[in-house]
Amino acid sequence: MDDIRIGLDFGTHQTKICIQRVPDEGHGVPEYEFFKFVDLNGIEQYFLPSVVQINKDDTLSFGYVDSKDEKPGLPLPKMEEIKRPNANDITDKAKTLYAKYTGADSINQEEMNALLHMLNKKAELDNASFDERFAAAQAKFNEEMTEYNRKRNLFRYFKQASLAEYPWESDFDSNLLCVWYLAYVVFLLEERFPDGFALNMGVPTDDKTFNQKRELGTRLLASAIHLVEDVYCNDLWKFINEKIGDLKKKTELIDFSADIKDEYRINIFPEAYVSLIGLTSRGKLSEGMSLNADIGGGTTDISFFIVNKGVPKIYRYWSIPRGLNYIAEHSGFNYAEGGFALKAHNDVVKKYNKKKEELAYGLVMDLIDQLRTYTNIPKSNLHDALRNRIVVYNGGGSTYPALTTEIYHFSDVKIANSDLWTEEVIREKSKVIKLANLLTTAFGLSVADSDEEVVLCDFNTLFAGSGNKSGYGEKQEIDKDVC
């Protein structure tokens, strides 16, 4: 029997799945396949939108949804139009008012001048209060939009709200939406692989919050599996035809336990970690210090690592709560509507890139502290060693050149591409290879074994082989295999 491991990249905007199949009970050569979903037009896609919709009949739709079938909520707000009056408007308005109230066939210029004077005075007052009236209209519109979003029956960004502290405007529980969406995905997987599989999922986290996020990720996924197997007994038709009121009653957010994690064969990994595993599994990166930046919809996951003798050693990882959504929202448009490259404001992109710079600068300052504490190596040696180090990008944001910038000393910019998979056995490789930068995390999840192996190397040992304070005064160099 084949050993099946599923890499579930549950994304803010869309979900990707990679299947690792190892024949001969796990002793053969691994084969990889990217799961295909079917859209509303019957076309197979490698991405399932992270969308849940309540339909007019109170059932749910997932992923590819017909927005015309969304259960009605509040009407879409429209902002009051506040216009500055101009001279032509005033003249036209004066003529209209004069004709309306005098009924005269000809114009008495003295009367008309008096009317124009009155209208011009009103226009001056209106102009003086324009900013105030515009701000009031904007505030009213924003308030109405907040209420509209709270009452909408089409949901996005629930994954980000549950796992990345995204501000959630809807009255609906984001955890419930995560469980139902994941249950739909599990239905599809169990239909395809009825003999069972291990399931690896990524979460946005850093080294300080990983254990907490691992527990929450396990709870969400275990709750979804419980719903599929124990509540609906693998009957997808019954699940998607269930009224939402009844579905709520049947949904239980399961408590975390090591037993339930083992029973359902769940592993939860930091997204930054598995993104890196996907990049280094075949030794495609050179030795030394590098950064990996996975730019997603809700977060940017960055890892600082060293490749030593072909093996990655991870010393730090971060999950920045800024991604494509952040840039879109602060540029005044909805990312889901498309046109990112044209609509993204330069100043917002600069702020986003500056956040990466600040993180890398702080990292280098920490490295300098390590040098001062444990070695006699001058910091200039570190700066020299770090020049033109690798930063490799993947994720949806890696398709936008404005976001794939140098990050401080890490100036050798690389984009995850088809070179990563030249040695892998992948079904329909010619179709998926152009999507390598988007599918890297799903691939890394299918490669990763156990989340118990997610151990950070001790940052304080980074320069352990580079000399120590006891040799003070002696010339020391940074180990070339480190930098």
Over range 286-300, report the average pLDDT. Answer: 86
Over range 217-236, report the average pLDDT. Answer: 97
Over range 195-200, report the average pLDDT. Answer: 95
Region at 157 (left for phi over 0; alpha for psi -120 to 50; beta for the rest): left
| Structure tokens, 347 | 């100043």
5 has a pLDDT exceeding 80: yes
In the block, residue with structure tokens 């079904």:
427
Over range 62-91, report the average pLDDT. Answer: 80
User: Which of 181-195, 345-359, 441-455 bottoms out in mean pLDDT, i.e. has the lowest?
Assistant: 441-455
Rounded Cα gap, residues 266 and 45, in angstroms = 25
308 has a pLDDT exceeding 80: no
Rounded to 5 degrees, what are φ and ψ at 316?
A: -150, 150
pLDDT of the residue at 460: 78
| Structure tokens, 162 | 């549950």
Class for the domain spanning 3-71+157-270: alpha beta
- The full 3-state SS of the chain, as one line of letters, equals CCEEEEEEECCCCEEEEEEEEEHHHHCCCCEEEECCEECCCCCEECCEECCEEEECCCCEEECCCCHHHECCCCCCCCCCCCCCCCHHHHHHHHHHHHHHHHCCCCCCHHHHHHHHHHHHHHHHHHHHCHHHHHHHHHHHHHHHHHHHHHHCCEECCHHHHHHCCCCCCCCCCHHHHHHHHHHHHHHHHHHHCCCCCEEEEEECCCCCCHHHHHHHHHHHHHHHHHHHHHHCCCCHHHHHCCCHHHHHHHCCCCCCCHHHHHHCCEEEEEHHHHHHHHHHCCCCCCCEEEEEEEECCCCEEEEEEEEECCEEEEEEEEEECCCHHHHHHHCCCCHHHCCHHHHCCHHHHHHHHHHHHHHHHHHHHHHHHHHHHHCCCCHHHHHHHHCCCEEEEECHHHHCCCCCCCECCECEEEECCHHHHCCCEECCHHHHHHHHHHHHHHHHHHHCCCHHHCCCCCHHHCCCCCCCHHHCCCCCCCCCCCC
In the block, residue with structure tokens 């600068």:
361
Residues facing 44 on adjacent strands: 38
User: Which of 212-216, 231-235, 282-286, 336-340 bottoms out in mean pLDDT, i.e. has the lowest?
Assistant: 282-286
261 has a pLDDT exceeding 60: yes
Round to the nearest angstrom and report the end-to-end CA distance of the chain. Answer: 44
Rounded Cα gap, residues 185 and 17, in angstroms = 10
User: Please, which residues have CB within 8 angstroms of residue 432's CB and are 6 or more apart in sequence?
Assistant: 34, 46, 426, 439
What's CA 267's distance to the chain center, in Å?
Answer: 20
pLDDT of the residue at 227: 97
Rounded to 5 degrees, what are φ and ψ at 457?
A: -70, 145
480 has a pLDDT exceeding 50: no
pLDDT of the residue at 382: 79
> What are 380-399's pLDDT values in tens digits?
887 777 778 889 898 889 98
In the block, residue with structure tokens 């994720």:
395
Rounded Cα gap, residues 77 and 279, in angstroms = 45
Q: Buried (b) or exposed (e) across 427-463, using 16+ Cβ within 10 A?
A: eeeeebbeebbbbbbbbbbbbbeebeebebeebeebb
> What are 15-70's pLDDT values in tens digits?
999 999 998 776 788 999 999 999 999 999 999 999 999 999 999 999 999 989 99
214 has a pLDDT exceeding 80: yes
Closest C-alpha among 172, 167, 164 to residue 216: 164
pLDDT of the residue at 319: 86
Contact 45, 188 (CB under 8 A): no
Is the alpha carbon torsion for 391, 395, 400, 402 positive or negative?
Answer: negative
pLDDT of the residue at 265: 96
The whole-model pTM stands at 0.79
Confidence of residue 481 (pLDDT cuts 50, 70, 90): very low
CATH number 3.10.20.30 given to 284-439+451-471:
no
> What are 343-354's pLDDT values in tens digits?
999 999 999 999
> What are 409-433's pLDDT values in tens digits?
888 898 887 777 777 888 998 888 8
Rounded Cα gap, residues 78 and 13, in angstroms = 26
Percent of the chain with pLDDT over 90: 40
pLDDT of the residue at 377: 77
153 has a pLDDT exceeding 70: yes
Q: What angle do CA 144, 147, 150 make, to 5 degrees?
A: 150
Question: At 227, which amino acid appears?
Answer: L
Q: What is the mean pLDDT of the chain?
A: 85
What's CA 279's distance to the chain center, in Å?
Answer: 19
Over range 150-160, report the average pLDDT. Answer: 88
| Structure tokens, 14 | 């869309």
